[in-house]
Amino acid sequence: MFNGWEFLILNPFEKNFEDTQEIYISEYNKSYNKFLSEICIPNPCEIISDNYTFLHFIDCNKEQDIINNDSNFEFKFKKSVFFDKKITKIKRDLKEHYSNYSINVNRIYKCEHGFIIELISIDDFYLR
């Protein structure tokens, strides 16, 4: 729903239009969850324990940008589009993940071929 309008994603070749929207939402959610798991460092304390600040580069160059390459779904979801359109949600989800490790997501910024996530140990964050 956007400004009172509901936009549906329709495949004109699909026989049953009602399923198209549900399939899109399902693929979108799968892609977002895969994207989030790819950009979260599984055990960040090993990296950030010695270094208080860590810059995590997310490659969004050409084929590296596509999240659902392994899917037969005709629409390809891109990391760069998620960063551009869902940055607030991404930052909130990353903060939730890294808070378990006493790490703060300081900022996310765009660079030439991707995005950089700046992670700071909470102890160092409060000393600044």
Domain boundaries, the chain: 17-67+76-127
H/E run at residue 3? none
Q: How confident is the model at residue 125 (pLDDT cuts 50, 70, 90)?
A: very low
Report the alpha-carbon distance of residue 82 to residue 58 in Å, rounded.
12
For residue 20, give every residue at least 6 positions away whose Cβ sits within 8 Å of its Cβ, in sequence order, or none.
8, 9, 10, 11, 14
Q: What is the DSSP letter of 15?
A: S
Could you read off the pLDDT of 58-94 as tens digits, one per residue? 999 999 999 999 988 888 999 999 999 999 999 999 9
- Predicted TM-score (pTM) of the model is 0.79
Residue 110, SS3 per DSSP? strand
Q: What is the DSSP letter of 76?
A: P
The answer to whether the CB of 79 falls within 8 A of the CB of 35 is yes
